Structure 1
Amino acid sequence: MEKVKPKKHLGQHFLTDLSIAEKIAKAVTGHQGIKKVLEIGPGMGVLTDFLMLGPWDLYLVDIDTESIQYLHQKYPSLSEKIIEADYLKKDFGSIMQGPYAVAGNFPYNISSQIFFKILEERNMVTEVVCMLQKEVAQRIASPKGNKDYGILSVLLQAFYDIEYLFTVPPGVFNPPPKVNSGVIRLKRNHVQQLACNEKLFFRVVKQGFGTRRKTLRNCLKSFGLTDELKEDPILDKRAEQLGVEEFVSLTNKLQESWNQ
């Protein structure tokens, strides 16, 4: 089998260190008793080899035709579970026919988009173990009050318990990226629904971080704040100072002020 050439336009950096691949595979726990695992962007199957050793019902998705052909040759037993598709554009809830975990070495250029898709399918995705750019990994796992804390931190922490597992240097990839990578694990928490209007919550979080240095009073002006709400001390804070519960509370206060 001819090796697959990494393609720059797909953000491909193939992992070459087997011990790291094994470590990532072993970090998948089967949270909530789930056995189905979808690997995003398997490339030449370095991580897949170790996932195959686990008790998982494994599916692979890759957008790269050359990788798909290679994977079919390498894993004939997976045949129909090797899917040529753009993960961002397909409904994997129906393909997987039930809850599933996600694993993978995510392409850096679309890692945030992958997480927004996971958020949409959060009631199907029980666990995520992935490698991505270290800064993004740290942001997702960061607690409130930290300079890395941002939109993805709040939205993902609302529905997942998140751990930063370890850092991976550039030299273990082909080609080496210009930055360090980080491996994180997300496990779906018990929150089925936030105690507020979820669409509004998403809007408030995104708008709140729109201008990080400004107070929420300034960031949320376009929401039509009532005079009473403008006096609320929560609006003296900046978005990075609020945890999930405080954003829920702020969302409810906004909704109530409009309904008065």
Structure 2
Amino acid sequence: MSVKAKKHLGQHFLTDENIARKIVEGLSFEGYKNIMEVGPGMGVLTKYLLEKDQNIYLAEIDTESIEYLKNNYSSVTENTFVGDFLKQDFNFINEGQIAVIGNFPYNISSQILFKIIDHYELIPEMVGMFQKEVAERTAAVPRTKDYGILSVLVQAYYDTSYLFTVHENVFNPPPKVKSGVIRLTRNPKEGLAGNEVLFKQIVKTGFNQRRKKLSNALKILNIPEALKTHEFMDKRAEELSVADFINFTILWKENQ
């Protein structure tokens, strides 16, 4: 028995055991005793996670996959499953932190990343496979075409590493694009406390007109008078580092 891949769920089942093992070994397994796998499918990652001294939770919404996992892995029970990842409040965790791992459905990639950011204080680490383009954008550095809103918002909370590329031919069915595996490791998020909303506003507004200098792109936000001559105003959003955006947000807040 196997699970039929469902297009509306964005399912592409990884078939290469070496890659599966490599993804799991991308986690450090340090500082937490809980791991949530998103979209386990037929358990290609799950089997390696179950070997670890961790509490494993599976976020799966495909009933066929749930039945398959329960039938094929003796330690997987009804209590292992926690439903839709995007609807998680993580209240099933009695204590401690939880890492996240998965071969993520391409159609909800960004939503998964933003969900992780929203629960930054609970999630110290993530290793996941995304569409290569999304993985590259997440890990991108300033002054590159891939650097944008996603890069800055994720990297403000997590140190981001692009681990490796995965080719189409190791999936069933094969996707039309390559995949990329990245690791997020929580950083101290210094300076953002209390300024998250403004930070996101500045980043999104700046990149929405990425070819314009910030003096023009940010006009809609009513730039504080004291910042109108700031050196960043003569730059485009793609030229600012994550730290620049954080420092600029702090200055903005102080001069509002």
Aligned to 2:23: 24
Correspondence 1:49 to 2:44: no
Q: Secondary structure at the match of 1:39?
A: strand
CA distance in 1 between partners of 2:179 and 2:56 (Å) = 24
Q: Quick check: 1:39–1:58 contact (8 Å CA) kept in 2?
A: yes
CA distance in 2 between partners of 1:226 and 1:105 (Å) = 43
CA distance in 2 between partners of 1:196 and 1:209 (Å) = 22
Aligned to 2:3: 4
Aligned to 1:230: 228
CA distance in 2 between partners of 1:19 and 1:217 (Å) = 50
Q: Quick check: 1:127–1:187 contact (8 Å CA) kept in 2?
A: yes
Q: Between Structure 1 and Structure 2, which shows a larger proportion of helix residues?
A: 1
Correspondence 1:244 to 2:242: yes
Q: Quick check: 1:71–1:82 contact (8 Å CA) kept in 2?
A: no
Aligned to 2:97: 99
Change (3 A) 1:101 1:113: same
> Match for 1:254 among 238, 252, 255?
252
Aligned to 1:199: 197
CA positional deviation for 1:227: 4.3
Mapping of 1:60-99 within 5 angstroms?
60-83=58-81, 85-92=83-90, 94-97=91-94, 98-99=96-97
CA positional deviation for 1:25: 1.1
Change (3 A) 1:213 1:120: same
RMSD value over aligned CA atoms? 1.6
Q: Quick check: 1:196–1:248 contact (8 Å CA) kept in 2?
A: no
CA-to-aligned-CA distance 1:51-109 (integer Å, 9 cap, x gap): 122222211110111111111112232214432522111212x1223311001000001
Q: Secondary structure at the match of 2:163?
A: strand
Aligned to 1:183: 181
Change (3 A) 1:68 1:193: farther
Identity %: 54
The two structures have a TM-score, normalised by structure 1, of 0.93
Aligned residues: 255
The two structures have a TM-score, normalised by structure 2, of 0.94
Gaps of 5+ in 2: none
